[in-house]
Amino acid sequence: MTDTIIALCTPIGTGALALLRVSGPDARTIINKIAQLPAKKQISHVPSHTVHYGSIIGPDHTVLDHVLFIIMDAPRSFTGEHTIEITCHNNPFIIESIINQIITAGARLAQPGEFSKRAFLNKKIDLAQAEAIKELIHANTQVALKKSLAQLEGSFSHYISLLEHDLIRALAWCEASFEFLDDEAEFGTQIKQALEKIITQINTLKKTFDIQQQIRQGIRIALVGSVNAGKSSIFNTLLNQKRSIVTNIAGTTRDVIEAGLYRNGNYWTLIDTAGLRHTDDIIEQEGIKRSFEEAQKADIILLIFDSSRQLTSEEYEIYTQLITRHKNKIIIIKNKIDLSETAHHQLSALTDIAFSCTNQELNTQLENLLEQKIATLFADIQSPFLLNQRQFNLLLALEQKLHEILALFNNTIQYELLSYQLQEALQIISELTGKSISEAGLDMVFKEFCVGK
Ligand SMILES: Nc1nc2c(ncn2[C@@H]2O[C@H](COP(=O)(O)OP(=O)(O)OP(=O)(O)O)[C@@H](O)[C@H]2O)c(=O)[nH]1
Ligand SMILES: [Mg+2]
């Protein structure tokens, strides 16, 4: 970490201002070469943790932009290194020319996640916290945001350190049994109990791993049903825009159409699908196959039927199949109630909501129903943390190791072997927090970050 790095931290093209970050031992010297401050002040001499208005000077002594310099000397910065942040105007030409100037003055472009990596190597954050930063940036629901913020503040690291503490205590009992032979059996029981407790905790975390995708990515809501049932109309109503084509021709929607919106702290992806019916048209068949796949993948299915006509026996079979297969995630919508309802509709008794695209009040009711369903979904997710694949794999490895250790208790315990195995389990835990992780492992973690983070 002897070189000084630079990157743009804000996305290009949105908003009035952009933020550039320069971090490394030569941050001040480098910026001093290209900055001009009023009253002959020098970046190299201003006090740390101050903000200065000034200009960036380009080749030929031209002013590239008027900017603010934020000076943060080591170790009181995000990376723990000397850092200067520059707020300039958000124009791609300005940004490019400033970056070029800073590189000419001696910095190099940062790699993805390099600022966070430096913060980790300088012990400003641990690995779980660094990983939480990535989650934080990409959080698509309020729940994900809250959990990643808590993890950034160290909730996951704290949890792991408690597991580590229990293991270290088990190791201490194990080592003590070398000295106090009379108490060996008692120590053995204690160790066994400690390990079983850790396994229970790992299992709780493991159970929720799969459904965590919902917390992360938001909710997938698929609109499914017969041709002409009004799927695209409801899709457009929920979106409040005419995104999907609506006509009275059966089979209008041929492919899957996705659109997203934020509502009450969650990101909803609405998925309009092709109507389900028997057809010889190859394109339509492919569309229908995709509809079933979307139903499978979705967190919630809006199963829509047209109340103004009966279902054919073939359609009825498809509906009942979907209902049995996805019982818990289906909302059954009886659509077109503004038209006269056919008598004894097959699905009337199962209806969750009677609907009409012409009625704004019913739209609000449908949205409320969706929100209730989502709330139940989230209530089922008790996970205290958002785990990533790396952390999940390490937890699996730890669990397996603990089971291997417990198996040692089936025979006369050899405490030397037990001690060795416990140390291996501790090694896995320290990979979780990053206390001992290989360079290659670190690169894997940080390469998923964006440049500028
Ligand atoms: N009266 C009435 N007509 C509706 C309602 N919802 C949809 N329609 C009409 O029903 C027809 C089909 O609507 P779409 O939204 O295209 O139906 P779809 O389920 O997407 O149909 P496909 O894409 O062909 O599978 C259109 O003529 C709509 O205007 C409703 O609530 N009331
Ligand atoms: Mg449609």
Q: What is the pLDDT of residues 376-417, one digit of tens each?
A: 877 766 566 778 888 889 999 999 999 999 999 888 878 889
Rounded distance from Cα 286 to ligand 2 centre (Å): 15
Rounded distance from Cα 366 to ligand 1 centre (Å): 17
pLDDT tens digit string along 274-332? 999 888 888 888 988 999 999 999 989 999 999 999 999 999 999 999 999 999 899 99
Instruction: Output 162 or 69, whichever has higher pLDDT.
Output: 69
CA 22 – CA 268 distance, rounded (Å)? 37
Angle at 170 between CA 167 and CA 174, to 5 degrees: 140
Rounded distance from Cα 247 to ligand 2 centre (Å): 8
Q: Does residue 452 contact residue 21 with C-beta atoms inside 8 Å? A: yes
DSSP state of 124: S
Out of 228, 311, 355, 365, mutate this one to test ligand 1's pocket (max ligand atoms within 8 Å of CB): namely 228
Rounded distance from Cα 306 to ligand 1 centre (Å): 8
Name which residue sits closest to atom 26 of ligand 1, judged by CA.
Answer: 248
CA 453 – CA 449 distance, rounded (Å)? 7
Atom of ligand 1 nearest to the CA of 274: 25
In this prediction, residues 169-191 reach a mean pLDDT of 83
CA 417 – CA 408 distance, rounded (Å)? 9
**Tokens standing for residue 90:** 């958000």
In this prediction, residues 101-110 reach a mean pLDDT of 96
Taking Cα atoms as reference points, which of 233, 244, 227, 235 lies closest to residue 268?
235
Cis peptide bond prior to 47, omega within 30° of 0: no
Question: Ligand 1: residues within 6 Å at CB?
Answer: 227-233, 246-248, 250-253, 274-275, 335-336, 338-339, 356-358
**Tokens standing for residue 232:** 């695209």
Relative orientation angle of helices 92-104 and 27-34, to the nearest 10 degrees: 120
Q: Does residue 102 contact residue 6 with C-beta atoms inside 8 Å? A: yes
CA 149 – CA 152 distance, rounded (Å)? 5
Atom of ligand 1 nearest to the CA of 355: 31
Instruction: Output 445 or 168, whichever has higher pLDDT.
Output: 168
Pairing of strands 353-354, 330-335: parallel
Name which residue sits closest to atom 23 of ligand 1, judged by CA.
Answer: 253
Ligand nearest to the CA of 334: 1
> What's the pLDDT score for residue 415?
85
- Report the amino acid identity of residue 288: I
**Tokens standing for residue 249:** 């021709």
> What's the pLDDT score for residue 321?
93
CA 246 – CA 355 distance, rounded (Å)? 17
> What's the pLDDT score for residue 380?
62
Name which residue sits closest to atom 13 of ligand 1, judged by CA.
Answer: 230
How many percent of the chain have pLDDT more than 70?
A: 97
pLDDT tens digit string along 214-237? 677 788 999 999 999 999 999 999
DSSP state of 421: H
Atom of ligand 1 nearest to the CA of 359: 31
Out of 223, 227, 233, mutate this one to test ligand 1's pocket (max ligand atoms within 8 Å of CB): namely 233
pLDDT tens digit string along 29-42? 999 999 999 999 99
pLDDT tens digit string along 40-71? 999 999 999 999 999 999 988 999 999 999 99
Ligand nearest to the CA of 248: 1
In this prediction, residues 140-144 reach a mean pLDDT of 77
Name which residue sits closest to atom 27 of ligand 1, judged by CA.
Answer: 248
> What's the pLDDT score for residue 158?
85
In this prediction, residues 125-139 reach a mean pLDDT of 84
- Residue holding tokens 């990515």? 217
> What's the pLDDT score for residue 383?
63
CA 311 – CA 97 distance, rounded (Å)? 65
**Considering the chain, what is the average pLDDT of its residues?**
89
Q: Does residue 97 contact residue 64 with C-beta atoms inside 8 Å? A: yes
> What's the pLDDT score for residue 121?
92
Model confidence at 185, pLDDT cuts 50, 70, 90, reads confident
Taking Cα atoms as reference points, which of 424, 57, 386 lies closest to residue 217?
386
Task: List helix spans (H) across 180-258.
Answer: 184-207, 212-217, 231-239
pLDDT at 23 over 70: yes
Ligand nearest to the CA of 276: 1
CA dihedral of 358, 361, 362, 367, whole degrees rounded to 10 = 120
Name which residue sits closest to atom 9 of ligand 1, judged by CA.
Answer: 230
